[in-house]
Structure 1
Amino acid sequence: MSKESLRICVIGCGGYANTVMTETKGLSGVEFSFASRDFAKAESYRNKFSGVKAYGSYEEALADDDNDAVYIFSPHDLHLGHAEMAATAGKHVLVEKPIARTIEEAQRMIECARSNGVNLMVAENYRFIPALDKALDVMKAAAENGIGQLRSIRITCEGYREPSEWRRSLRRTGGGVFIDGGIHFVNLLISLGGFPERISATWLPKVFKSSEGEDGINLLARLPKGASGTILFSRATNISETRQHVTVDGSHGRLTFMPYGSEVILEKGATKRKIRTSKSYRGTRKMVREFRESIIEDREPVMSGEKGLDDLSIVLASYRSAESLTEVTPRQYSLY
């Protein structure tokens, strides 16, 4: 791709699209258009975010040669169809997590993008948060400056948010809160500790009876080189605000951070050091910039379709483990 500015058409003008557009407003090298089955909504987003064009159908947007790519914000059950439509039309694809509901759907999306010569990237903003970058820098440092050999990773995210609308449907979502929001922390676990070799999971007692999927889960993972990883994820913990926390223990120290926080804390014995991060806490600007640069540089994006498939395979293996009350091998739920 030769031109420096990328035009991305937003597919699905809902609440989270509003959040991302607010955070990426003014990003250089990118311009947005908006498509919705409700033209008035697309036009409203175009006006609000200084977009270049609005469309009353996805087909109209994909037929416009001025659109280089799409950013898919639609519900999980529509990811496959919208991604295949876009890739077949020659548009690069940025799709919200999870990549899909099933391994088979994800693999079809990957193959369709590959056969049409377009990039497929999963919009996993946690992969781009500054706190993760700082934590990885410390983990890669020599033992005297870092934490030494990895021993354990503990991730918690607890809050109170009842699923709304389509998220209550097992068919539309592909699961419950873990595939919808917990997959962020699966990506964090893999980024910090590598792909799990074995996992076991248990459901938490259900609170939201209106939802067909789970509202809480506890995951235990055996990581490469003998390390241990845990994720406690709940959206039915009756507290006033969502709390997220990551602890990484090594043979020579401990790292702690909040994913959207502005610092990483390194503890070595009685010594505690605060390492400041940048102010781009949620990582969305860096994420969209990576999508643009991967296309311009004609390379695979950091958060490729295959990486999204990795995250999904852990979620689905967790479901199988919780259902069967057994330890499982995640690669059994992947197609490669």
Structure 2
Amino acid sequence: MRDTQPIGKRDEMKQSMCIVGCGGYARIVLDDIYDMTDEFDFYFASRDIDKARQYSEDYGGAGYFGDYEEAAADPRVQSMYFFTPHDMHLDNVNLAARHGKHVLMEKPIARTVAEASAMVESARDGGIKLMIAENYRFLNTVDRAMEIMNAEGAENPIGDLRLIEMVVEGFSSPGEWRANLDRNGGGVFIDGGIHFVDIVVNVGGFPELVHAIQPPQLYPNVEGEDGILVTAALPGGAACVINFSRAIPVQSLRQVVKFTGSKGRISFDPRASELTIDTPDGQSTVEVQAVRRGVRGMVSEFRRSIEENREPVMSGYEGTKDLAVVLAAYESMRTGESVRLSLPER
């Protein structure tokens, strides 16, 4: 390990987090959180030590490692944020648990419910916190929409929830390990569509029934699906439709979420700073504070869960629920039959 910060100068109130897996998506997240130096000292680990060194230099890191085991064993590191392929997640948690390091794991939690359950058990046995890095759980647009829909009487212009609609359209072929069915655990739905599954579970509850179909494949190099249409029956009778695709030949990514109730509709781009309320009496706009894709709030919640010794909001079990919905959609897509769901065991 190369340490670039003297031990005596560390702020005892901070936590030390090691970023594990210095790839392209890690850089996107770091661009949002690198300045959270009042909360964290950042370390970096990669199997390519030159890459770990470069990331540490680029983001003012406290040190870097050329080996995951070395990072996990270092007493300076308190937690590990894994940006690794999905087929490595179980081994990653087992490694961290052996060394008593808390884990923030990029979504999805795993490729199968069995893997996810093993990860939760490993974290429990190791006495560590396991949080899934589902940043859409921390978006102000979603939180504000839920506040509006949960308000009483005239303060709620939407009424009882009847329908959730989501359209996500982009034009980008998955590359490298994400194009491999076994390593990724599926196609674009398990990797990106799971964000929107989490919104459904968070707002409408865990689906009771799922049906899915796959449009014709556009990208021949992608072993999993490059698009999917999912319908679901939610608790209380509400319905859900998710149209998620990375194979729509358009210039820019489009994300639209709509919640329709008995009195009106609320719609928004989850990443934006406003929501539109539409009722028979007219339209209005509600502004919210932009939150850099929810990543900062997500990382702060992870830190607080460690400090307060409690389950994080986006726990391993919450991640397992999202995964179970994705896998039910895959089963339906494969068989042509609707799939009835039950909550995963804790």
Partner of 2:90, secondary structure, is helix
Q: 2:287 aligns with which of 265, 273, 276?
A: 276
Partner of 2:6: none
1:20 is matched with which residue?
A: 29
TM-score scaled by structure 2?
0.94
- What's 1:224 paired with? 235
Matching residue of 1:182: 193
Q: The residue matched to 1:167 in structure 2 has which SS?
A: helix
Which runs of structure 2 are paired with 1:69-108 in the superposition (5 Å)? 69-108=79-118
Structure 1 stretch 84-93 or stretch 263-272: which is displaced more? 263-272
Segment of structure 1 superposing worse, 286-295 or 321-330: 321-330
Change (3 A) 1:22 1:281: closer
- 1:304 is displaced (CA, Å) by 0.2
How much has 1:26 moved relative to structure 2? 1.4
Among 302, 312, 315, the alignment partner of 1:304 is 315
Matched, 1:316 2:327: yes
Deviations 1:11-51 (A, max 9, x none): 10000100111101211311210000111100101011111
Larger mean CA deviation between 161-170 and 270-279 belongs to: 270-279
SS in 2 for 1:94: strand
Q: Which residue of 2 aligns with 1:242?
A: 253
Deviation at 1:192, TM superposition (A): 1.5
Does the 8 Å CA contact 1:216/1:235 hold for their aligned counterparts?
yes
The two structures have a TM-score, normalised by structure 1, of 0.97
- Establish whether residue 206 from structure 1 lines up as the match of residue 217 from structure 2: yes
Coordinate RMSD, CA, aligned: 1.2
Per-residue CA deviations over 1:200-247 (Å, capped at 9, x if unaligned) read 111111101111100010010100100001100000000001100001
Residue number in structure 1 paired with 2:275: 264
- Shift, 1:335, TM fit: 4.2
Contact 2:32 2:292 in 1 (8 A): no
Q: Which runs of 5+ in 1 are unaligned?
A: none
Does 2:166 correspond to 1:139?
no
The superposition leaves residues 72-113 of structure 1 with CA deviations (integer Å, 9 ceiling, x where unpaired) of 001111111111101111000000000001111111100000
Rounded Cα–Cα distance in structure 2 between residues aligned with 1:77 and 1:177: 15
Counterpart residue number, 1:168: 179
Identical amino acids, percent of aligned pairs: 46
CA distance in 1, matches of 2:98, 2:145: 39
2:226 to 211, 215, 235: 215
User: What letter corresponds to residue 77 of structure 1 in structure 2?
Assistant: D
2:57 to 47, 55, 72: 47
C-alpha distance in structure 2 between counterparts of 1:7 and 1:48, whole Å: 17
Q: Which residue of 2 aligns with 1:120?
A: 130
Distance 1:281 1:52, change over 3 A: closer
Deviation of 1:152 after TM superposition, in Å, equals 0.4
Is the partner of 1:287 in helix, strand or coil?
Answer: helix
Q: Distance in 2 between matches of 1:271 and 1:134?
A: 20
Q: Residue type of the partner of 1:98?
A: P
Task: Tell me, in whole angstroms, the C-alpha distance in 2 between the residues paired with 1:139 and 1:281.
Answer: 24
Q: Is the 8 A contact 1:160 1:241 kept in 2?
A: yes
Compute the displacement of 1:4 (Å): 2.8
| Contact 1:127 1:188 (C-alpha < 8 Å) held by counterparts | yes
SS at match of 1:109: helix
Residue 151 of structure 1 and its aligned partner are, at CA, apart by 0.5
4+ aligned runs moved over 3 Å, structure 1: none
- Determine which of 62, 67, 71 is the counterpart of 2:77: 67
- 1:331 deviates by 2.2
**1:110 partnered with 2:120:** yes
Q: What SS class does the counterpart of residue 339 from structure 2 fall into? A: coil
Structure 2 distance, partners of 1:166, 1:19, is 18
- Once residues 34 and 66 of structure 2 are traced to their aligned partners in structure 1, the CA distance between those partners, rounded to angstroms, is 22
